[in-house]
Structures are given as structure tokens and as C-alpha cells.
């Protein structure tokens, strides 16, 4: 029996990589899914078409994480067209690099807007529609916990901030029976960080199990948290990185 039958999920940044894998896994467990995208309309539509072809319900919504109104509209459209909202997955993000001497204030503002502010805005919009048993799951990073190389201060800062947001929301929403958790992926084989890329071996050297995640590995953990087995888990961090942060 599908564990998420009758549920509806919104995944930000769901056109590719981890977000697309999450959309497919949630759908496979019976959820109706909406995915947001910024520039990857064709990729998002491919995800949707694949879900529909497999017998699921899905839709793609253009929404830039920097646009508060667009994020709120994505929530409202999901509710209106798919019949509610039970699961919010804050996945969309960027990976800025550069030492603190090199980064600009514009890059700082963009990182905060996309990686940190947007999950707050999305949660604010979503919780008004979520019933008891709702889930908010945010995709963080193992770099929120440990920073092994220079040049990723802005990214690590933004992902660390999501930990505090998760714990705070868990307290705020616990009385309503809404669970809030964060998943910290490590190196994951996507087009942004391919397992055969020139930077892959240095990343594997940090791992106890020197193997990149597949996007579906992360999606499986998110799906578990979204399902009935995760009902007593809230305010928690889950790291999936092959032991890089041991």
C-alpha cells in the first residue's frame, strides 16, 4: 500500500537532481506533487510527464526563490489545483564560492535570499494550509556542520542557518502535529557535482565509505520522513554523506 496516498507535496527546485528524485519518490508512494523551477522549464516538464506517465499527479510551477510573491503563489496554486498541501520540501538553493575577500555584498544578499529567506517564506505560506500530520523537510548540507575547504563561507552560513530554522519551527508547529526536519546531503552525483568530476576524488577522500550519494538515496530518506514512520521525528538533523563528517 502506498504510504503517502492522498497527500500533496510541493518541492522547490524540483526540476533536476535531488529535487527531481524527491518528486519521483514521493509520487511513487502515492503523493500528488508540484515542483518549482526558475530556468529549467523543459526539465521540470520532463519530471512531471514521467510522473503522469507512471499514473501519478504532478505539476510544474515557475517560481524564483528570490520572489516572495512567486513562492506564496506556488503554495496557493498547489493547494488550489492539487487539493491541499501536506508536505513542503525546501530544496532549491545555490552554491556560491569564493573567499571572504572576494565575495560581494550582492552575492551575500542573493545567497541569503535563495538559501535561507525563501524556506522561511515558503513555510509561512504553507503552514496555513497544512493539517495535523503535515511535514516540512528542508535540504541542508553536511557543510553546515563541517567546512573542510576554504571558499564556501556563504554557503555554509546559509545552510547552518537552516538548522536553527528547523528547530525553531519544530517547536512552533509541534502543538499542531506538524513535523519539521532537515536532511544534510554530502557529495551527491548530480550535474552540479558529478561523481566523475575533477573535484570528486578530494571529496571521496573525506568519506568513511568513499562513494557519492545517488540523488535517490537522499530522496529515500526524505520520503521516510514524510511518511507514517516519521511521525515522532521532529527538529532533527539527518546527515547522509558516507561518513564525511565523522
Q: Which domains does the chain have, with CATH numbers?
A: 8-240 (3.40.50.720)
Does residue 118 have a pLDDT over 80?
Answer: yes
DSSP string, 198-227: TTHHHHHTT-SS--PBPHHHHHHHHHHHHS
The residue-averaged pLDDT of 206-220 equals 97
Cβ atoms of residues 190 and 200 within 8 Å: no
pLDDT score for 152: 96
Q: What is the mean pLDDT of the chain?
A: 97
The residue-averaged pLDDT of 99-107 equals 96
pLDDT digits (tens, 9 = 90+) for 120-172: 999 999 999 999 999 999 999 999 999 999 999 999 999 999 999 999 999 99
Which residues have a catalytic role annotated? 155
What residues contact 165, with CB distance under 8 A and at least 6 apart?
116, 119, 120, 123, 138
Does residue 1 have a pLDDT over 90?
Answer: no
pLDDT digits (tens, 9 = 90+) for 5-22: 999 999 999 999 999 999
Question: What pTM was estimated for this model as a whole?
Answer: 0.96
Sheet with 237-240, strands from edge to edge, namely 58-62, 32-37, 8-11, 87-90, 135-139, 179-185, 237-240
Determine the Cα angle at 207 with ends 203 and 210, to 5°: 85
The residue-averaged pLDDT of 63-72 equals 97
Amino acid at each position: 500500500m502506498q504510504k503517502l496516498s492522498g497527500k500533496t507535496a510541493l518541492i522547490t527546485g524540483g526540476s533536476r537532481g535531488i529535487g527531481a528524485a524527491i518528486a519521483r519518490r514521493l509520487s511513487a508512494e502515492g503523493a500528488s506533487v508540484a515542483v518549482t523551477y526558475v530556468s529549467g522549464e523543459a526539465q521540470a516538464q520532463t519530471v512531471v510527464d514521467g510522473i503522469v506517465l507512471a499514473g501519478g499527479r504532478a505539476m510544474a510551477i515557475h517560481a524564483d526563490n528570490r520572489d516572495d510573491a512567486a513562492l506564496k503563489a506556488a503554495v496557493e496554486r498547489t493547494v488550489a489545483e492539487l487539493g491541499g498541501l501536506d508536505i513542503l520540501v525546501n530544496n532549491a538553493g545555490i552554491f556560491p564560492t569564493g573567499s571572504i575577500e572576494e565575495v560581494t555584498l550582492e552575492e551575500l544578499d542573493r545567497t541569503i535570499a535563495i538559501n535561507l529567506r525563501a524556506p522561511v517564506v515558503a513555510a509561512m505560506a504553507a503552514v496555513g494550509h497544512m493539517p495535523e500530520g503535515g511535514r516540512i523537510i528542508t535540504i541542508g548540507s553536511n557543510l553546515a556542520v563541517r567546512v573542510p575547504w576554504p571558499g564556501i563561507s556563504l554557503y555554509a552560513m546559509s545552510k547552518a542557518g537552516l538548522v536553527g530554522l528547523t528547530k525553531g519551527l519544530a517547536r512552533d508547529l509541534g502543538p499542531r502535529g506538524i513535523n519539521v526536519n532537515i536532511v544534510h546531503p554530502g557529495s551527491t552525483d548530480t550535474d552540479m557535482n558529478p561523481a566523475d568530476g575533477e573535484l570528486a576524488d578530494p571529496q571521496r577522500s573525506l568519506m568513511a565509505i568513499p562513494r557519492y550519494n545517488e540523488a535517490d538515496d537522499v530522496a529515500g530518506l526524505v520520503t521516510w520522513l514524510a511518511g507514517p514512520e516519521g511521525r515522532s521525528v521532529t527538529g532533527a538533523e539527518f546527515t547522509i554523506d558516507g561518513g564525511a563528517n565523522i
